[in-house]
């Protein structure tokens, strides 16, 4: 038995999802003639209460497109030091849009209005880069799956309006946050100028992300997506998976969250555990007492065909997901309890 806990992106489509994909009616989406993509985009607009949506091959491309349409070269975006747009998009903000990132050292990937207020450059001070865009990440990947208190997001929105800043949500794992809070997608749609979401993580799709926003921005996004090489043809097969996942795979995320908490509490009892970040959703980030122990631990797991990932700087990560089953979970918990290093 192989247990892969490196990421929620490693899932394979279930038989039911493959059936939905196989049955999809498709067309050429570059000509906007794929009925299933059109349906998915319409459904996302409805869900988030926004005018328009666009299907993307990856979350990175959706975020990069959002940065491009919300800024001009020379502008600055504000984000957390752990954010995906800053750390894991290969420098795309500067490569694609010519913007710099003003980093905030937040709490588990979350930044707060009082911190943002301090780093906004005065609009008339032409010596400094123009603050233009705030990017929030919910849930935060490097922040261990933490999610925002919606009240804080409202405060950030007020600050953004006051300072004429755009607001983008990297919602790759927004579905996870939505399952743990009372807000609806529409609440996010009301606040953010643009929202990216992924189907290829907790929702179990093989490929696919989307960007959601107003009509004018999404018309710009259509052109940018083409520039980035993201115009796809019979992508309805992928959109069918996303539609299936939106309907069937959202509520089960709670299971991933519960299992993550159970894993964290088992890990916490190990004598060589140094610290575990608070677990809110499906990600567990922890460090062990020494580098040597870390290597021993990871290798021991590997021998048992259990895979986890290192984030560097002594941090290890475990992610629960659609293909991590109850059987895997019982086996893994039992195994943790017996580890002796």
Ligand X SMILES: *Cc1c(COP(=O)(O)O)cnc(C)c1O
Shortest distance (Å) from residue 258 CB to ligand X: 21
Shortest distance (Å) from residue 304 CB to ligand X: 27
**Position among 11, 36, 58, 131 found at the interface with ligand X (CB under 6 A):** 58
**Position among 113, 209, 235, 287 found at the interface with ligand X (CB under 6 A):** 209
Q: Which of 64, 49, 47, 52 is nearest to 242 (CA)?
A: 47
The yes or no reply on residue 172 touching ligand X (CB under 6 A) is yes
Q: Which of 246, 311, 298 is nearest to 82 (CA)?
A: 311
Site string for ligand X, 25-54 (x = CB under 6 A): ------------------------------
Stretch that binds ligand X, among 44-52, 59-67, 111-119, 241-249 (CB under 6 A): 59-67
The yes or no reply on residue 60 touching ligand X (CB under 6 A) is yes
The yes or no reply on residue 137 touching ligand X (CB under 6 A) is yes
The yes or no reply on residue 80 touching ligand X (CB under 6 A) is no
Angle value at C-alpha 188, between 105 and 107, nearest 5 degrees: 15
Cα(319)–Cα(5) distance, integer angstroms: 5
**Position among 66, 134, 198, 279 found at the interface with ligand X (CB under 6 A):** 198
Closest-by-Cβ residue to ligand X is: 59
**Position among 141, 176, 194, 235 found at the interface with ligand X (CB under 6 A):** 141
Cα(93)–Cα(63) distance, integer angstroms: 9
**Position among 170, 193, 256, 294 found at the interface with ligand X (CB under 6 A):** 170
Q: Are strands 209-213 and 52-56 parallel, antiparallel or unpaired?
A: antiparallel
Please identify, using beta-carbon distances, which residue of 17 and 85 lies nearer to ligand X: 85
Angle value at C-alpha 292, between 288 and 296, nearest 5 degrees: 85
Cα(113)–Cα(124) distance, integer angstroms: 21
Shortest distance (Å) from residue 191 CB to ligand X: 18
Site string for ligand X, 97-136 (x = CB under 6 A): ----------------------------------------
The yes or no reply on residue 235 touching ligand X (CB under 6 A) is no
**DSSP assignment of 223-271, as one string?**
HHHHHTT---SSTHHHHHHHHHHHHHSSTTHHHHHHHHHHHHHHHHTST
E strand or H helix at 331, and its extent? helix 326-338
Check if the beta carbon of residue 96 is closer than 8 Å to that of residue 67: yes
* List of residues contacting ligand X (CB under 6 A): 58-60, 63, 84, 137, 141, 170, 172, 198, 200, 209
């Amino acid at each position: 038995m192989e247990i892969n806990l490196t990421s929620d992106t490693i899932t394979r489509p279930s038989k039911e999802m493959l059936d939905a994909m196989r049955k999809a009616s498709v067309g050429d989406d570059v000509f906007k003639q794929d009925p299933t993509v059109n349906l998915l985009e319409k459904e996302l607009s409805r869900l988030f209460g926004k005018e328009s949506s666009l299907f993307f091959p990856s979350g990175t491309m959706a975020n990069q497109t959002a940065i491009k349409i919300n800024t001009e070269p020379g502008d600055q975006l504000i984000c957390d030091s752990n954010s995906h747009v800053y750390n894991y998009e290969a420098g795309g903000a500067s490569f694609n849009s010519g913007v710099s990132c003003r980093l905030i050292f937040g709490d588990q990937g979350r930044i707060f209005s009082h911190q943002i207020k301090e780093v906004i450059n005065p609009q008339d001070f032409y010596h400094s880069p123009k603050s233009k865009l705030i990017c929030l990440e919910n849930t935060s990947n490097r922040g261990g799956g933490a999610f925002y208190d919606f009240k804080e997001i409202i405060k950030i929105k007020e600050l953004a309006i006051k300072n004429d800043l755009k607001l983008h949500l990297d919602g790759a794992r927004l579905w996870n946050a939505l399952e743990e809070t009372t807000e609806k997608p529409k609440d996010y749609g009301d606040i953010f100028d643009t929202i990216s979401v992924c189907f290829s993580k907790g929702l179990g799709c093989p490929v696919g992300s989307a960007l959601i926003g107003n009509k004018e921005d999404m018309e710009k996004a259509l052109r940018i997506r083409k520039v980035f090489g993201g115009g796809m043809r019979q992508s309805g097969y992928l959109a069918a998976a996303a539609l299936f996942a939106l309907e069937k795979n959202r509520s089960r995320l709670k299971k991933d969250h519960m299992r993550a908490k159970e894993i964290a509490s088992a890990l916490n009892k190990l004598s060589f555990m140094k610290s575990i970040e608070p677990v809110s959703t499906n990600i567990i980030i922890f460090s062990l007492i020494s580098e040597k122990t870390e290597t021993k631990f990871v290798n021991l797991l590997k021998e048992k065909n259990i895979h986890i990932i290192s984030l560097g700087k002594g941090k290890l990560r475990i992610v629960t997901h659609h293909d991590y089953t109850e059987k895997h979970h019982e086996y893994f918990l039992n195994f943790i309890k017996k580890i002796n290093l």
